[in-house]
Amino acid sequence: MFRPNDGYDQQAMFDSTSWMSPKTCEKLMKSWAPIFYEHVFRQIDEAPFSVLYGDTGKPNFPVNILLSLEYIKHMRDCNDLDILDDYHFDYLVNYAVGNRTLGEKSLGERTIYNFRERVYRYSVDNPGKDDILFGQFIKLVCDFAKAANLSLGEQRTDTTLFMSNIKKAGRISLAYDVLAKAVKAIPADKLTGNLSAVLDSGFKNKVLYRMKGQDTDSRLAMLLQLCQEALVVLETVSEPSGSDALSVVRRFLSEQATTDPETGKLAPKSKKEIPSGSLQSAYDGDATFRRKGDVSQSGYALELSETCAKNNPFQLITDYTVKPNNTSDEEMLRGRIQKIRENTGCTDMYVDGGFHSDGVHQIASENGINIHLTNMSGTEPTKKLPVTAFEIDGDTKVILKCPAGHVPIRAGVSGGQSSAHFSHETCGGCELKEQCHSKSQRKDSVVRINLKAIDAGRIRAEMKEHLVENTSMRAGIEGTNSAMKRKGQNKLSVRGVSKCAVVSGLKATAQNIKRMIRFMQGGYKPKPKDAPLKGVFVPVTA
């Protein structure tokens, strides 16, 4: 049964501070605990968490304490046993979560696990409803911004790759894991002789560790054949315990194997035929594969947005989302722009070229957000004159003048192109003829420019004009990605996109809390108004 914890303002009869020396109390008041208590614990809204509990039974352990402990755990990057010890014996932690007497409320390990499981289960069972943890995240962002007088208008966005609790596995290792999972799900009385041998300790060593390079294909084919045999047996098993293994082995075979038309046996597909969304682990069906720059990884992608206004004493993470890592950057941003605008009132977003697309710019424009790029994907045309050399109407996309200043005989827009017609005499004697887009026709010369090229040329010109400023505004989020990974984001201890989203959200919230505490303790120095942009080359003239 849900019961809110709203009695923390009442003074405890045996308040531990009553026997502390004045100097000890003074140190306590200067620590992080009172700041956390005032700006985090007291601001947690427990009402949305009532859906996690029934209407009858024993009252729940206070949600604001459990959630606060989750935040503190990720601030310290410690495990559950450590945070339990801190709760029972660390007075700073007790003060932060509203307990004024050490040992006042006992907390069991199972209580933490049950709360976390309820949150996970709710996020899986209610995909269309508001994320209750994200709601607390946004509430704290707004409270911190108001308390520290931070501007939320200018923001920057980036993505980073991370792994769930899976191992980096090649095809042989993955095939063995799938096979072992399938065999363990089959009742002992239905195992064939071949499948029984899979459970022997020597089978794994023989397949994975005593294999020569030239035997790779034959061993993989053998494992695929055994997976097929296990699949046939599993399809006759009606027990629910085997349903997950059944779906995993079916998916694995459909992605990794093809049937030889002559022999009817399974053969491994070539690596090029295997999609990036293929199964990466027998125990995490949501993880995918992606290569980003020089980094290739199996797992997920985390999108982070944070403030970047120059006058802010510190920056806050304002949005996060987790997707399988084969989701493109621009697709992730397209799905978040409206939410970012609604939650924070963002007006300017600084991103790199991976986020550039017509869809991103359109949705951003519809929501009143200006996209600032530090670079663009694709290559800039070099053989011809740049599109921006032509004078083109910004609204109609009609070509008004050529780079040499000549007015076309006629011009218009049709079929996704802007075209302009010039006389043969005009183009024939032009000194820019070899670089121009014009082509000679029977009656005249015509210039045809794709409308997307016009938009891209305009964006490139704007980007070059503000390159130094845009790069400076965006660069800081790389530090946020690094800080998250130093606190465990690089490889999480959970599996599945829902659990990874929950843990990533807790870590993002913990980062904001740490920054707020540092600010309240006077840790951020004001930046000089005329200071050069950090990390950006500024040319010095004589």
Q: Which residues sit opposite 373 in a β-bridge?
A: 351
Do residue 62 and residue 122 come from a single domain? Answer: yes
pLDDT score, position 541: 40
How many domains does the chain fold into? 4
Choose one of 241, 273, 305: the last residue of a domain.
273
Q: Which residues share a beta bridge with 351?
A: 373
DSSP strand pairing (295-307 vs 317-324): antiparallel
Torsional class of 348: left (φ above 0), alpha (ψ -120 to 50), beta (otherwise): beta
Looking at the structure, tell me whether residues 445 and 473 fall in a common domain.
Answer: no
The beta strands (E) that lie in 236-334 are given as 257-259, 266-268, 288-292, 295-307, 317-324
Length of the chain: 542
Evaluate whether residue 248 is within a structural domain. yes
Which residues, 6+ apart, have CB-to-CB distance to 4 below 8 Å? 46, 47, 63
Tell me: do 350 and 475 sit in the same domain.
yes
Instruction: Tell me whether residue 531 is in a domain.
Output: no
Reduced to 3 states (helix: H, G, I; strand: E, B; else coil), residue 418 is: strand
Sort 52 into a burial class: Cβ within 10 Å, 0-12 / 13-18 / 19+.
Answer: middle
pTM: predicted TM-score of the whole model, two decimal places: 0.84
Place of tokens 């002992």: 188
* Torsion of the alpha carbons at 322, 328, 330 and 331, rounded to the nearest 10: -70
Residue 122 lies in a domain: yes
CATH number at residue 493: 3.30.420.10
Using CA atoms, how far apart are residues 76 and 82, in angstroms rounded to an integer? 10
Model pLDDT, residue 540: 43
Based on the fold, state whether residues 368 and 469 are members of the same structural domain.
yes
Distance of CA 280 to the CA centre of its chain: 18
144 lies in some domain: no
Measured in degrees and rounded to the nearest 5, phi and psi for residue 499 equal -70, -40
Compute the distance between CA of residue 503 and CA of residue 486 in angstroms, rounded to an integer. 14
Per-residue pLDDT tens listing for the chain (542 residues): 899 888 777 666 678 888 889 999 999 999 999 999 999 999 999 999 999 998 888 899 999 999 999 999 999 999 999 999 999 999 999 999 999 888 888 999 999 999 999 999 998 888 777 789 999 999 999 999 999 999 999 999 999 999 999 988 788 899 999 999 999 888 888 888 888 888 887 888 888 776 665 566 788 888 999 999 999 898 887 565 557 899 999 999 999 998 877 777 888 888 889 988 999 999 999 999 987 777 778 999 999 999 999 999 999 999 999 999 999 999 999 999 999 999 999 999 999 888 888 889 889 999 999 998 886 555 555 557 888 788 888 888 899 998 888 889 889 998 888 889 998 888 888 888 888 888 888 888 899 888 888 777 777 777 666 667 777 888 889 999 999 999 999 999 999 999 999 999 999 999 999 999 999 999 887 665 555 544 444 444 43
Domain assignment present for residue 537? The answer is: no
One domain for residues 22 and 123: yes
Q: What is the number of alpha carbons within 13 Å of residue 180 lying toward its C-beta?
A: 16
- Assess if residue 156 is contained within a domain: no
Task: Assess whether 338 and 481 both reside in one domain.
Answer: yes
Same domain, 374 and 492: yes
| Domain end call among 240, 273, 306 | 273
Q: Are residues 221 and 352 in the same domain?
A: no
- Establish if 155 belongs to a structural domain: no
Q: Taking a C-beta distance cutoff of 8 angstroms, is the pair 195, 183 a contact?
A: yes
How many angstroms separate the Cα of 317 from the Cα of each of 13, 321, 339, 472, 480?
39, 12, 14, 17, 9
Domain finish residue from 216, 241, 273:
273
Q: Is residue 146 part of a domain?
A: no
Q: How far apart are CA 154 and CA 132, in angstroms?
A: 26
256 lies in the same domain as 180:
yes
Structure tokens at 266: 């399974």
Whether residues 229 and 321 share a domain: the answer is: no
- Which three-class secondary structure state does DSSP give residue 136? helix
Residues 125 and 251 in one domain: no
CA geometry: angle at 158 spanning 153 and 159, to 5°? Answer: 145
Residue 441 structural domain: 387-461
d(CA 279, CA 272): 15
One domain, residues 454 and 491: no
